[in-house]
Structure 1
């Protein structure tokens, strides 16, 4: 593999501080380590050499909608739920994990976890809701 020696006047790709892009530059001064100052071919600005930046990977989505995962979880658990065994929801009652409740607005729900001393997280068909309890 050949090593190329750089000299003033050579073309090099660098990150322009004004254009904020990787563009062609001309080397103005050199040191033993590499280019010191360069001149941008686009805007003609002279600045310290900055190596070209690497393109970032596009962000990947974990899930299109968190409600979709909750809805799938509901669909898998629903056949095992007995609506006759569900207690009518009341803020003054205490609930344990895996307890079935029947809410007048949200319908049948399953207590997923106890959040603090007076709240529970309940999975309903529409998604998870944090409900107040005793």
Structure 2
């Protein structure tokens, strides 16, 4: 299916364009992304570069959420985690309290605290000391 953008949303826009038109364009882009269209197809329909679509989404806080860095690091090291809730629920109570304290101290989620420990262990550094 070929996308067709409304004519008033096509082409290059600058800060001199009315804000309501720029907002409408961002809403149109977000709606097409939610429908599952690729950013390249959206850009082609608007007659703009792919990176412009990405920038519009990013600048308005509409881009897709990114995985936490710690979880990515553990995934890259090949440590299988499974579901974090199952992993956490299977831990002894003392270790759960220790992880909760560590997460609060580092100001990260408990899942990231677990991922940090597993990353450090996989790299041979042992558990982080805080």
TM, length-normalised to structure 1: 0.21
Structure holding more strand per residue: 1
Q: Which has the larger radius of gyration?
A: 1
Please state which structure has a larger fraction of its residues in helix: 2
